[in-house]
Structure 1
């Protein structure tokens, strides 16, 4: 099965745990991988005005990827979605930070684009509301059904 990895917002701004960084790095070395980085531009997304906080104006992905796409808000950019479409993948494996917000938003963007989003449940961390990611995993399962684990992905790559 042709697949790619979408790494959502694993950047210093969101203080990812080391186990997440290490796990994603190991998997990204085995698959085509793209990453998103969320940067602040109040003119594009009014985080400060509406929420009283904002991501950093400058940051970078903590995971090496084939391509990195900057976004200003929760969703993925059209350029990132177009890039994945050009890869001709059968499914997009999704991992990263803020399971119930930015990761879930990535799922909706991929789904709407006709790509098959699959969440890697043990390579995601929730927002400050639910660091376990359980709420986001439940929402993902409800909306997209497709979830997997790192072990299942690696097994599929070897088989």
Structure 2
């Protein structure tokens, strides 16, 4: 099965746990991978005005990827979706930070683009509302149905 990995916002700003970074790095070394990095630009997305906080203005992905796309706000940029479309994959494996917000937003963008989003349930962490990610996993399952684990993906690559 042709598949690619989308790494959502695994960057210093959001203090990802080391186990998450290590797990994503191991998988990204075996698949085509792209990453998003969320940066603050109040003129594009008014985080400070509306929420009273904002991500860093400068940051970088903690996981090496074939391509990195800067975004402002929750959703993925059209350029990232277009890049994945050009790979002609059967599904996009999604992992990263804030399962019930940015990761879920990535799922909607991928779904709307016909890219078969599949959540890696063991390589995602929720927001401060639910660090376990269970809420986001439940929402993902409800909307997109497709979930898997890194071990299940690696077993298909062998």
TM-score tier after normalising by the smaller chain length: over 0.9
Counterpart in 2 of 1:67? 67
Deviations 1:107-131 (A, max 9, x none): 0000000100000000000000000
Q: 1:24 corresponds to which residue?
A: 24
The CA deviation at 1:47 is 0.2
Task: Tell me which residue corresponds to 1:53.
Answer: 53
- Which residue of the partner structure matches residue 124 of structure 1? 124
Query: What corresponds to 1:107 in structure 2?
Result: 107
Deviation string, structure 1 residues 80-120 (Cα, Å, up to 9, x no partner): 00000000000000000000000000000000001000000
Name structure 1 gaps, 5 residues minimum: none
**Paired residue secondary structure (1:57):** coil
- Give the alignment's TM-score, normalised by structure 2: 1.00
CA distance in 1, matches of 2:26, 2:151: 12
Match of 1:3 in 2: 3
Q: Give the ranges of 4+ consecutive aligned residues of structure 1 lying more than 3 Å apart after TM superposition.
A: none
What's the C-alpha RMSD, in Å, of the aligned pairs?
A: 0.2
Task: Report the counterpart of residue 87 of structure 1 in structure 2.
Answer: 87
TM-score by length of 1: 0.99
Distance 1:50 1:131 in 2: 23
Match of 2:141 in 1: 141
